[in-house]
Amino acid sequence: MAVILFQSPKGGTGSTFLAAQLALHLAGRGYEVNALDCTFQNALKMHFGFMPSQPVPELDGVEGEALVAFGVKLLQAHHHFRSQAFLREAERQLDRLFDPAHIWIVDVASEDRPLLDLLTPRCALHICALLPTAASLATLNRLSETAPAMQLDRTVFVLNQLDDRQKLSRHSHSFVRDLFGDQLIATVRRDEAINEALARFEPIAKNAPTSAALQDLRFFASAVEERIGLTQAVGEANVTVPGDV
């Protein structure tokens, strides 16, 4: 159905967190969602309540028991995408691997530019999480060697960990909004409840149902659905966006 990539040239911006939240939202809307962790860190599973020691099935491994939580099927592919067998015929392999009956949420590590380049032509959307910090915004020119970030037509941005009490955060927000216009699809407020929920291996909706960031995340997920044309597929009846609540 669609491949959605999460990758940011800087680590720690919330790519894995946002990938998990989008997967949870889309599964809740009735889509068949696979969440594919392509990072060495292999931390995506923690956002679905699994311990760090929990093995995650390999993307192209032997058929075994699937790992499913909240309707999302978890897979990993860090080793697979580096294997000689895969790289020898990557194009054909990719056609085979990404079953089109599912939505694929793919978490790509910040330094894994080769994988980003390989997958971008096949994705419906590349979501780049940014922080309102100089260190994060300074990496924007590392997104592509051929075009400025504003001209990457499959790439959109989420400004994460916003805190309107901080001047730099407010200014970064204006800067990114002016630079990217519609390419900035959402902002997510900084909220310690996110880290607390992760520490408890619980969904934020359960651990902190009144979290302001939860509203932002719903809005983010709806913006993605609209951007890739998913909204019509299931209908909007179950979606709560800020303003509805």
Ligand X SMILES: Nc1ncnc2c1ncn2[C@@H]1O[C@H](COP(=O)(O)OP(=O)(O)O)[C@@H](O)[C@H]1O
- Could you say which residues in the range 102-141 bind Mg ion, by CB under 5 A? none
| Locus of tokens 């800067």 | 175
State which of residues 5, 15, 185, 227 lies at the interface with ligand X (CB under 6 A). 15
Q: If binding means CB under 5 A, how many residues of this protein chain bind Mg ion? A: 2
- Could you say which residues in the range 55-84 bind ligand X, by CB under 6 A? none
Binding marks (x or -) toward ligand X, 144..163, rule CB under 6 A? Answer: ----------------xx--
CB of 140 to ligand X, least distance (A): 15
- Could you say which residues in the range 15-54 bind Mg ion, by CB under 5 A? 15-16
Give the residue with the Cβ less far from ligand X, 15 or 169. Answer: 15
Does position 8 interact with ligand X (CB under 6 A)? The reply is yes
Does residue 39 contact residue 52 with C-beta atoms inside 8 Å?
no
57 touches, from ligand X, Mg ion, none (C-beta below 5 to 8 Å by class)? none
Segment near ligand X (CB under 6 A); pick from 7-15, 25-33, 57-65, 133-141: 7-15
198 touches, from ligand X, Mg ion, none (C-beta below 5 to 8 Å by class)? ligand X
Give the residue with the Cβ less far from Mg ion, 38 or 230. Answer: 38
Q: Quick one: tokens of 113?
A: 């530019």
Does position 166 interact with ligand X (CB under 6 A)? The reply is no
Binding marks (x or -) toward ligand X, 186..225, rule CB under 6 A? Answer: --x-xx--xx--x--------------x------------
| Locus of tokens 């999302």 | 72
Segment near ligand X (CB under 6 A); pick from 29-37, 52-60, 80-88, 185-193: 185-193
14 touches, from Mg ion, ligand X, none (C-beta below 5 to 8 Å by class)? ligand X
Give the residue with the Cβ less far from ligand X, 93 or 173. Answer: 173
HEC letters along the chain:
CEEEEECCCCCCCCHHHHHHHHHHHHHHCCCCEEEEECCCCCCHHHHHCCCCCCCCCECCCCCCCCEEECCEEEEECCCHHHCHHHHHCHHHHHHHHCCCCCEEEEECCCCCHHHHHHHHHHCCEEEEEECCCHHHHCCHHHCCCCCCHHHCCCEEEEEEEECCCCHHHHHHHHHHHHHHHHHEEEEEECCHHHHHHHHCCCCHHHHCCCCHHHHHHHHHHHHHHHHCCCHHHHCCCCCCCCCCC
Residues in touch with ligand X (CB under 6 A): 8, 11-17, 129, 160-161, 188, 190-191, 194-195, 198, 213
